[in-house]
A and B are shown apart, each in its own frame.
Chain A
Amino acid sequence: MTNSIAEIENNDALFVIGSNTTECHPIVALRMKKAARKGAKLIIADPRRIPLVKFATLWLRHRPGTDVALMNSIMHVILAEGLEDKNFIDSRTEGFEEFRKAIAQFTPEYGEKITGVPAADIVKAARTYAGAKNAGIYYTMGITQHSMGTNNVWSVANMALLTGNLGKESAGVNPLRGQNNVQGASDMACAPAVLPGYQKVADEAVRKKFEAVWGGALPAEPGLTATEMTDAIIGGRIKGLYIMGENPVISDPHMAHTLKALKKLDFLVVQDIFMTETAELADVVLPASSFAEKDGTFTNTERRVQRVRKAVDSPGDAKDDLSIIRAVAARAGYDLGPASAADVFREISALWPAMAGMTYRRLDSGGLQWPCPTDDHPGTPYLFKDVFPRGKGAFSPIPYIESKELPDEAYPFVLTTGRILFQYHTGTMTRRSDALEAVAPEPFIEISREDARRLGIADAGMLSVSSRRGSLQVKAMVTDRVAPGVVFMPFHYHEAAANVLTNDALDPVCKIPEAKVCAVRIEKTAEVAAGV
């Protein structure tokens, strides 16, 4: 997030796109509701009638995968009506003219044709977003998990640049991070092209700095992303994989493909707290500590680094991940350095200026938001106040590109996937918590009343759902949450894992798979059994 969670309640307008905030980021959603109660205009763009719609001023139900067309046409209206922030564009951005040309064709009527959102609502959204003094955009995987996810994100940035909603309080571009420390894992460079603090591996000076502390030469070539690794395993380039605390069998799109890869490995190590679907395939399983059993830090979606503290001992011989990695490294002949989390943190803050001002002691009360470069720096609630890291903010001309797999005669429905309030990710933790499991014990597929009536599907009736990649059986939930032609499934449940069906087509830039749009066919199980 460029801005902070606490600032949300003072937004004058909020544009929430591709985020089912109340279910996936419930506490962020509380601030959104508070903003709405305080009079902020809440615009929601989502193919589903998500619970937050209840609080919305305007709900745009666009077709899955048409986010760019929607945002481009909103921006078209902003420009046509002269609602853009000319000062901001002149003083802090570049590339505006090209961008202007790129969206010239996106009239609201053209937008309506692609997205299904009435042109009048597109106009209303434009006026509301651009008319607000401080407007924030909030998005999550609904924007990113597409084969053109990077384009979607650039479009979001264009919206903020166009209206000057960056570099100030209660505005900004705010991706909500879906996992407790996904921000931290990125910051810590669990990514193929960077070293901690987003310092490029390709940069020799950077490598030198790290080599001095770590010892040994660092590889200069960027490595492979997780999704690329899967292909590399199948292609035979990668032979051994070490997985710490992940369950890609359930979480990754196109499960058959993932299984094929993991089974092909010469050697697989999985380090986890439970015997996950992935661990079952491993050659070695290492028992790790849960969050409650260790010290350290997590970095949340607003870049706030906070202390994690040990409350109980790990069960049996389980050890915290840091100790395990150190031990593995030691046996492999590499000294990983400091043993305690506090000492590791000290090493990190010495190597990344944005965390240089942080110590465990300073984090003790409430945490700190990076950048926090010095010992007396209070942390940074919002980014880009006077300048962007690259100098000027760049507009990107973004064309509308369709999703890789659209419905056709054989697979007439669009399947979109996501989370529900009571389960989390692959269910490893939530499905072992009785209270949560009691409330939401089984998978389902949301289907519109119209489609259900047409196909003679009853609520809770068993359906067979198939895509080009696999099929599964799941109970129907007949609802007005989804539009006709669209179905939704949560991906938490191994017994009907949505990722059996999803498409692993990748975004060309950041290699994110298209989990949000694929084509499926739906039949009643009885018909399938009878061979109808």
Chain B
Amino acid sequence: MINLTIDGKTISVSDGATVLEAARAAGIEIPTLCHDPRLKPYGGCRLCIVEIAGVPRPVTSCTTPATDGMTVTTSSERLFNLRRTVVELLLSDHPNDCMVCERAGDCSLQELAYFYGLRENRFWGERRRYPKQDMNPVIKRDMEKCVLCGKCVRVCDEVQGVGAIDLAYRGFGAKVCPPFEKDLDCEFCGQCVSICPTGALSGRMWAGKGRQKDVKETETVCPYCGCGCVLTLHTAGNRVIRVSSKVDTPNEGWLCPKGRFGYEFINRPDRLTTPLVRREKGGALEPASWDEALDLVAARLGAIKDAHGPDALGGLASARCTNEENYAFQKFFRAGIGTNNVDHCARY
């Protein structure tokens, strides 16, 4: 264990903890933009700078290991001014088009601007312009909004192991891009999108569907493979408009392309909306009322059971349905119809 003092509080943390982790464990908030506990420390945004007694310059708390006896100050006029300058610089090179930005209300940069009250900017100057658009079908990449926190690059490399993007160029012209600035061609897991602190990365299909106001979030579980990732469905009215995942889930907030971007089927117009029955053999399936359909099912199943016994019926349940539904399904077949001919597609 390491004992250190942060803002006058004595704090104990385990070996290897950073100053930022120690502060956050003690409930002391330090602003960050490039930090994510799931990634290696980076130290790029400089917002988490703190003063350490005996060290002449401010240091980034996200990269500095806590050491025994360390005395840390996380807020002072000097730190406040430095952090504000950093945010002001970022805003001086940003479209500041929050009005139409997908991430308005859910944007770290916007929050920081709000916190520091930065309406004016001492540093207005040249702003990056990238006329070339990335035409990949899934992820909208608006690099003029990028703050170069490097999270997307790191998550793609450190977590996903793909390395589809990296920083290119130097200085003011530095930018995140795929090799040779081609269109992104990757696994489209969207980890980068989920971790982006601004509107630089977003799902292409999110655009214009709703942001914060009147958008509801519901926690549920992914309907695809067996990993069981927890999803947050963002809904506007009766439409699912976005899928995300929280960090404190078993899947740590990571999803795959199907989980993150494969939700559009829910609101497809070709969903089945009414029962259909084939009123004569060889005829077409025609819309029917629930009463007609249910009566038909009950009557035909009953007739087969009466004529050939319960084992002339079979039921296939679904690995896609809930436990409760599957339970009810087999209960119906066993206790209601009286057959054990019930199975599901576990084998394919």
A and B touch in the complex (CB under 8 A): yes
Are A239 and B304 within 8 A (Cβ)? Answer: yes
Closest to B248 in A: A366
Residues of A within 8 A of B325 (CB): 244, 296, 320-322, 325
Closest to B341 in A: A223
Residues of A within 8 A of B229 (CB): 27
Are A348 and B324 within 8 A (Cβ)? Answer: yes
Are B271 and A193 within 8 A (Cβ)? Answer: no
Are B266 and A244 within 8 A (Cβ)? Answer: no
Are B272 and A246 within 8 A (Cβ)? Answer: no
Are A311 and B233 also in contact (CB < 8 A) when A239-B313, A322-B328, A336-B332 are? yes
Closest to A422 in B: B257
Distance between B263 CB and nearest chain A CB, rounded to angstroms? 7
Binds A, one of B107-115, B116-124, B295-303: B295-303
Residues of A within 8 A of B264 (CB): 432-435
Residues of A within 8 A of B297 (CB): 242, 269, 284, 286, 328, 331
Binds B, one of A85-93, A126-134, A172-180, A474-482: A172-180
A-side interface size class: 35 or more
Residues of B within 8 A of A279 (CB): 272
- A144 to B345 Cα, complex, angstroms: 13
Interface centre among B255, B268, B307, B331 (most CB of A within 10 A): B331
Are A177 and B226 also in contact (CB < 8 A) when A284-B276, A285-B272, A300-B221 are? yes
Closest to A321 in B: B325
Residues of B within 8 A of A329 (CB): 328, 332, 336
Closest to B203 in A: A435
Residues of B within 8 A of A304 (CB): 228, 250
Are A315 and B273 within 8 A (Cβ)? Answer: yes
Are A285 and B294 within 8 A (Cβ)? Answer: no
CB within 8 A of B326: which of A184, A226, A294? Answer: A184
Let me know if B319 is at the binding interface, CB within 8 A: yes
Let me know if B335 is at the binding interface, CB within 8 A: yes
Let me know if A104 is at the binding interface, CB within 8 A: no
Within 8 A of B (CB), among A270-297: 272-275, 279-280, 282-288, 290-297
Are A214 and B220 within 8 A (Cβ)? Answer: no
Dominant SS at the B interface?
mixed
Let me know if A30 is at the binding interface, CB within 8 A: yes
Binary per-residue interface labels of chain B (304-348) against chain A in the complex, 1 for a CB within 8 Å, 0 otherwise: 100110111111111111111111111111111111111111111
Interface centre among A145, A217, A283, A310 (most CB of B within 10 A): A283
Closest to B223 in A: A291
Binary per-residue interface labels of chain B (240-256) against chain A in the complex, 1 for a CB within 8 Å, 0 otherwise: 10000000111100111
CB within 8 A of B188: which of A232, A295, A439? Answer: A439
Let me know if A532 is at the binding interface, CB within 8 A: no
- A193 to B339 Cα, complex, angstroms: 11
Are A334 and B336 within 8 A (Cβ)? Answer: yes
Number of interface residues of B (CB under 8 A): 111
Are A185 and B319 also in contact (CB < 8 A) when A239-B313, A300-B221, A306-B228 are? yes
Are A240 and B301 also in contact (CB < 8 A) when A182-B319, A433-B263 are? yes
Residues of A within 8 A of B331 (CB): 214, 336-337
Let me know if B7 is at the binding interface, CB within 8 A: no
- A316 to B239 Cα, complex, angstroms: 13
Within 8 A of B (CB), among A434-470: 434-436, 438-439
Q: Can you add 13 more A-B contacts, CB < 8 Å, to A25-B225, A229-B314, A299-B228? A: A5-B250, A190-B318, A191-B346, A244-B321, A275-B270, A284-B293, A287-B274, A301-B226, A307-B221, A334-B332, A424-B258, A438-B137, A513-B348
Are A190 and B340 within 8 A (Cβ)? Answer: no
Let me know if B204 is at the binding interface, CB within 8 A: yes
Residues of A within 8 A of B278 (CB): 282-284
Residues of A within 8 A of B189 (CB): 26
CB within 8 A of B345: which of A201, A241, A248, A308? Answer: A248
Are A284 and B275 also in contact (CB < 8 A) when A182-B226, A291-B221, A304-B250 are? yes
Are A188 and B323 also in contact (CB < 8 A) when A239-B313, A241-B316, A304-B250 are? yes
Are A201 and B327 within 8 A (Cβ)? Answer: no
Distance between A79 CB and nearest chain B CB, rounded to angstroms? 33
Distance between B209 CB and nearest chain A CB, rounded to angstroms? 13
Are A292 and B220 within 8 A (Cβ)? Answer: yes
